[in-house]
Amino acid sequence: MTVLLAIESSCDECCAAVVKDGREVLSNIVNSQIDIHKNFGGVVPEVASRNHITTIESVVDRAIDESGISIEEIEGVCVTNRPGLIGSLLVGVSYAKSLAYSLGVPLIGVNHLDGHVAANYLGNRELEPPFIALILSGGHSHFYYTRDYGEYERIGATRDDAIGEAFDKVARLLKLPYPGGPHVEKLAEKGKVSIDLPLVLLEDDSLDFSFSGIKSKVMQIMDKGYRPEDIAASFQNTCFEIVAKKIERACKMQNIKKVVIAGGVASNKVLRSRLRELPLEIIYPDISLCTDNAAMIGAAGYHLFKKKKYSDLSMNAFSYSSD
């Protein structure tokens, strides 16, 4: 049995979790700053960093308390060290380093995107690579071919806005609160898919995305008298149609039928019902593990731990993903 503590502070959520054997969540604490950043209409990096440093201690304390294990049983400390807001990342990274050092256990730097994919190992105990992973969140729209645990290759990414970012921007146009995703989804329930928006699929062999054109089109039609709920429904539908088409394309190109969806947008019910139409095995993490959390970092870190891919004390934080 391997018990790891995991810490995630890459954006506006301060998280800690205890994970057993990379599959079982013993505790998963998420301290969201959404209410704070609402005042600014988006995440302000310095404000986020300031909140991380004042909450990290209590978040880690709660994660250990609720897990039912004692601190001496922790065999390694995993922490997100890329990609993300550098000031936010550095709080988790600095804390994790001195904690791992003083406990005398390995430190494991984890890629946040690897974490989103690994979230699926937690809810779906039987899931094994290989599979295609698609991360859909406020910061990412990335395709990965996952060959083995913790071994993946990027096969596509957004060329401009991440899908969640496009939702946030359209939400702002529709005067909906931040974060936009759930609000656009709710408004769209009352609307009809009645407005033609560009179905941007790029080159025939491309697994990249581009969402900024759709967002710009929405901007242009804002004063044309359409009902906001119809705009929301049409926008959402167009985005998910693109996602569905790209998934089909990716599976065909990689000759694989298993797809893992991750990231905050994976919790959208309209997306899920659209993807049910595909003749593929589509796997989602638990809704609670779609958005940023530390349990997923523990799940990803477990495989690095097993392979002894430890980080040293000079480990840094990076705003970009290294792959």
Partner 1 sequence: MILAFDTTSSICSVSIFDGENIITQREESGFKHSTLLMPLIDRILQENNYTLGDIEKVIVSNGPGSFTGIRIGVATALGFKKGLNVPLYSVNSLDMMSYSSDDDIRCSIINARRHSVYAACYGKITLDPFNDDFNVIKSFIDGKVESVTFIGENISEFCEEIRKELNISVNAVKSIGSRGIILSYLDGKFSDDIYPNYMRKTLAEMERNL
**Binding stretches for partner 1 (CB under 8 A):** 39-40, 44, 46-47, 49-50, 52-54, 56-57, 60-61, 71, 86-87, 90-104, 313-317
- For partner 1, which is the closer residue by CB, 70 or 255? 70
CA 149 to chain centre: 18
**CB of residue 275 vs partner 1: minimum separation in angstroms?**
38
- For partner 1, which is the closer residue by CB, 226 or 318? 318
Distance between first and last Cα of the chain? 30
- For partner 1, which is the closer residue by CB, 1 or 313? 313
- For partner 1, which is the closer residue by CB, 9 or 291? 9
**CB of residue 79 vs partner 1: minimum separation in angstroms?**
10
- The Cβ-side half-sphere exposure at 140, using a 13 Å CA radius, reads 31
- For partner 1, which is the closer residue by CB, 256 or 315? 315
Q: Which helix or strand (DSSP H or E) is residue 49 part of?
A: helix 45-67
**CB of residue 176 vs partner 1: minimum separation in angstroms?**
20
Query: CA–CA separation, 272 vs 244, rounded Å?
Result: 10
**CB of residue 87 vs partner 1: minimum separation in angstroms?**
5
- Reduced to 3 states (helix: H, G, I; strand: E, B; else coil), residue 279 is coil
Residues facing residue 79 across a β-bridge: 7, 109
129 near 147, Cβ under 8 Å?
yes
Q: Are strands 13-20 and 24-32 parallel, antiparallel or unpaired?
A: antiparallel
**CB of residue 230 vs partner 1: minimum separation in angstroms?**
34
Q: Which tokens belong to 177?
A: 């609160």
- For partner 1, which is the closer residue by CB, 47 or 127? 47
Query: CA–CA separation, 23 vs 19, rounded Å?
Result: 7
- For partner 1, which is the closer residue by CB, 95 or 284? 95
**CB of residue 16 vs partner 1: minimum separation in angstroms?**
11
Backbone angles phi, psi at 42, to 5 degrees: 165, 175
**CB of residue 141 vs partner 1: minimum separation in angstroms?**
27
Query: CA–CA separation, 304 vs 178, rounded Å?
Result: 35
Query: CA–CA separation, 259 vs 57, rounded Å?
Result: 37
The one-letter code for the residue type at 132 is I
